[in-house]
């Protein structure tokens, strides 16, 4: 599904999602704090997830990665991140992330993983624009996206239902030039 990426901070690494990750992905997607922020219901079984995985593999417009985090000397899989709806013709893709293990949250893992993914998206993957959609009340995710440099582009009113209730969905995007500008600032800060 895509090359393996290695974190600059050294504690976060991405590798392509594999069929062997099925149990972990099903567990994370069914975690209540994750399930309530997703637009589609969680897979009910390992088999259901593997059917999705096979469709995604054949579809070819998606690259999904496992987020590996090294803490106290041991590396553990803590979530997934990826690009979907990759449309080379338009140079765009949709970004999505989840840290499925709540104890791994709030420690900069999502931010580091996202930086790796965006470096890849605007570097080797050659994209012009990466966009995302999130429930308007997902404060943690929206804060992460602002910190990464995503710009709020609009609100899709009552765009998706959660527990049967229509909810607003925020659309955010970041352009290649904006990301490369931020990457230059990061390098200047380190110099
Ligand atoms: C959103 C999510 C990916 C953030 O992961 P994380 O590893 O905890 O995020 P980080 O530690 O890298 O934090 C990145 C930024 O987000 C902020 N943030 C993280 N959790 C937050 C919270 N609960 N409330 C407010 N801001 C929060 C951090 O403060 C940080 O910003 P800062 O640099 O200004 O401090 C994680 O909470 C998650 O997986 N949630 C469930 C699934 C989900 O909502 N996915 C997104 C669907 S659109």
Residue ranges per structural domain of the chain? 5-190
Q: What is the mean pLDDT of residues 85-96?
A: 98
Ligand 1 pocket test: pick from 143, 145, 146, 162 the residue with the most ligand atoms within 8 Å of its Cβ: 143
Q: Is 134 near ligand 1, meaning CB less than 6 Å away?
A: yes
d(CA 149, CA 115): 10
Identify the bridge partners of residue 161 per DSSP, sorted by sequence position.
166
In the reported structure, the alpha carbon of residue 140 is separated from the centroid of ligand 1 by a whole-number distance in angstroms of: 4
Question: Residue of the nearest CA to atom 36 in ligand 1?
Answer: 99
Whether 172 contacts 134, CB under 8 Å:
yes
User: What pLDDT does residue 7 have?
Assistant: 55
CB of residue 105 inside a 6 A radius of ligand 1: yes
> Could you give the 3-state DSSP secondary structure of residue 15?
strand
Q: Scanning the structure block, which residue is given the tokens 């140079």?
A: 91
Q: Residue 184, Cα to own-chain centre: how many angstroms?
A: 23
How many angstroms is it from 51 CA to the middle of ligand 1? 29
pTM (2 d.p.): 0.94
Give the pLDDT confidence of 143-184 residue by residue, as tens digits: 999 999 999 999 999 999 999 999 999 999 999 999 999 988
Distance CA 110, CA 102 (A): 12
Q: CA 30 to CA 45: how far, in whole Å?
A: 10
CA dist 91 and 103 (Å) reads 35
Which residues, at least 6 apart from 38, have a Cβ–Cβ distance to it below 8 Å?
A: 29, 98
Distance CA 189, CA 176 (A): 20
pLDDT at residue 8 in the model: 47
Residue 2: per-residue pLDDT: 53
CA distance 43 to 26: 6
Share of the chain above pLDDT 90, in %: 82
Q: Is the pLDDT of residue 3 over 90?
A: no
Q: For the segment 10-62, what is each residue's pLDDT rounded down to a tens digit?
A: 699 999 999 999 999 999 999 999 999 999 998 889 999 999 999 988 898 99
Fold (topology level) of 5-190: Aminopeptidase (3.40.630)
């Amino acid at each position: 599904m895509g090359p393996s990426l290695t974190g600059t901070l050294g504690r976060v690494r991405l590798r392509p999602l594999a069929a062997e990750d099925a149990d972990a992905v099903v567990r994370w997607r069914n975690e209540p704090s994750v399930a309530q922020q997703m637009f589609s219901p969680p897979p009910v079984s390992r088999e259901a997830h593997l059917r999705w995985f096979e469709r995604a593999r054949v579809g070819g417009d998606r690259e999904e990665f496992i987020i590996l985090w090294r803490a106290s000397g041991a590396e553990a899989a803590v979530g997934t991140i990826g690009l979907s709806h990759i449309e080379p013709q338009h140079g765009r893709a949709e970004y999505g992330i989840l840290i499925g293990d709540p104890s791994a949250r709030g420690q900069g893992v999502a931010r580091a993983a996202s930086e790796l993914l965006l470096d890849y998206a605007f570097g080797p993957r050659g994209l012009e624009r990466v966009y995302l959609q999130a429930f308007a009340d997902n404060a943690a995710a929206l804060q992460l996206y602002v910190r990464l440099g995503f710009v709020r582009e609009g609100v899709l009113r009552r765009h998706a239902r959660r527990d049967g209730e229509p909810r607003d969905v925020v659309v955010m995007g970041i352009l290649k030039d904006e990301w490369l500008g931020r990457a230059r600032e990061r390098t200047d800060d380190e110099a």
